[in-house]
């Protein structure tokens, strides 16, 4: 990312911001898509994030940190869009403290749709840490820096997110009683 472009955009130069936006759009959209799992919502979130970036750009003190700063704004925007669309996570039942499933339960190939459903049940904050850590390959220290939270919080979110997904996968694999299916519609 060119710090000079950022500096000029901070001074209100829309042409520089247009160049920045073209450069950043792919990353923002792809990140939002992986967090929100919905193309329309991802586009909305990336669009909102770009406008917010423009509005708040003068407050960015270190232009070299533009990329990390833009990711933080994007994650916040994803949370807003998810709230607005009323698609916040549904709480799932399960004891978060229980030990992992027996080995044979996971020997089978993990079904992609089950995985997708499990991921969608996570909160936006949990999804964000997984996406930054697993998709962008950011170390947890960098994820903490991007999100503005302690390293311990990131580690705990990653742990809880994976644990929650494991429970969701287990729940998916259990035969559901008729009453549950009807109630969940």
Partner 1 sequence: MTNDQALDSAVRALLREPAVTRTGGLHRALARVGTTPQRRRRWWPFAVTNTGPRARGVSMASAVKFVVAAVIVALFGGFLLAGVLTAPPGDEMAPATTNDTILPGVTLNVEEVEPGVFRVIDDGERDIAKANNTGIVAGHDGGIWLLRPQHFFRLGSEAHEWPVRKLGVPDFEVAPDGTVWAMSGGHLYSVGRGSDDWTRTKGPAGGFSGQFEGSAFWVTSDGTVWATWEGVVGYLGADGWQPVGERPKRPHSQFHDLFVSDRGDIWAFTGDLEHLVDGAWRTYGSPDGGWSVGKAAGADGTFWGTGRWDFVRFDGTEWTTFAWPDWVPDGRGTTDPLRAARDGSIWVGTPGHRYPGSVCSGVGHFDGMSWSRYLPDLCVEAMDITADGVAWVLASRDDTDDSLPRHVYVITPEAVAATE
Q: Which residues bind partner 1 (CB under 8 A)?
A: 2, 4-5, 8, 12, 14-19, 21-22, 25-27, 29-30, 33-34, 39, 42-44, 46-48, 50-51, 54-59, 100-101, 103, 105-106, 110, 112, 115-116, 119, 130-131, 134-135, 162, 165-166, 169
Cα gap 172→110, rounded to integer Å: 11
Joined tokens for residue 62 = 């270190």
Cα gap 30→22, rounded to integer Å: 13
Cα gap 166→116, rounded to integer Å: 12
Joined tokens for residue 68 = 């990390």
Residue 10 · residue 57 · CB < 8 Å: yes
Cα gap 169→106, rounded to integer Å: 9
């Amino acid at each position: 990312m060119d710090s000079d472009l950022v500096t000029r955009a901070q001074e209100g130069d829309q042409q520089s911001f247009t160049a920045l936006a073209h450069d950043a759009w792919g990353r923002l959209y792809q990140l939002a898509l992986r967090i929100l799992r919905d193309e329309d919502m991802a586009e909305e979130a990336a669009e909102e994030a770009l406008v917010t970036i423009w509005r708040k750009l003068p407050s960015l003190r270190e232009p070299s940190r533009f990329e990390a700063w833009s990711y933080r704004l994007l994650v916040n925007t994803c949370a807003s869009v998810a709230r607005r669309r009323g698609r916040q996570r549904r709480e799932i039942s399960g004891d978060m403290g229980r030990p992992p499933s027996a080995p044979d339960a996971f020997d089978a190939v993990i079904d992609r749709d089950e995985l997708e459903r499990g991921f969608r049940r996570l909160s936006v904050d949990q999804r964000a840490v997984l996406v930054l850590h697993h998709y962008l390959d950011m170390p947890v220290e960098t994820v903490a820096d991007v999100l503005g939270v302690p390293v311990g919080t990131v580690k705990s979110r990653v742990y809880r997110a994976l644990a929650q997904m494991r429970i969701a996968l287990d729940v998916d694999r259990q035969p559901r009683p008729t009453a549950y299916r009807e109630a969940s519609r």
